[in-house]
């Protein structure tokens, strides 16, 4: 049965704040989250610092994890110049 929260990785802006919020929601360390996603702890740190943004498979995995954990994410498109 599909969950209440549906995400489309192509429409999400996995920015630093959102990645950190997801990790805190999951009550995981960067190392634990890296293990879940199959990446390095340093990568999670770089995402959370805003040095890089996840894309492709990484963004899709974040979306799957978010959906599975009932993470509430605003999917409204972000328009530059508007808050």
In a domain? residue 83:
no
In a domain? residue 22:
yes
Least confident of 8-22, 30-44, 45-59, 68-82: 68-82
- Least Cα distance to 66 among 1, 58, 31 occurs for 58
pTM: 0.77
Residue 34 structure tokens: 């890296």
- pLDDT score at 72: 85
In a domain? residue 74:
no
In a domain? residue 82:
no
In a domain? residue 34:
yes
- pLDDT score at 80: 46
- pLDDT score at 73: 73
Domain that holds residue 41: 9-68
Q: What is the CATH number of the domain that holds 59?
A: 1.10.260.40
In a domain? residue 75:
no
Q: How many domains does the chain have?
A: 1
Least confident of 11-15, 21-25, 28-32: 11-15
Residue 44 contacts residue 29 (beta carbons within 8 Å): no
């Amino acid at each position: 049965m599909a969950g209440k929260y549906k995400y489309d990785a192509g429409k999400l802006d996995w920015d630093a704040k959102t990645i950190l919020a997801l990790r805190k929601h999951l009550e995981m360390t960067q190392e634990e989250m890296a293990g879940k996603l199959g990446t390095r702890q340093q990568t999670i740190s770089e995402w959370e610092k805003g040095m890089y943004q996840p894309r492709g498979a990484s963004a899709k995995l974040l979306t799957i994890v978010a959906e599975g954990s009932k993470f509430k994410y605003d999917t409204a498109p972000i328009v530059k110049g508007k808050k």
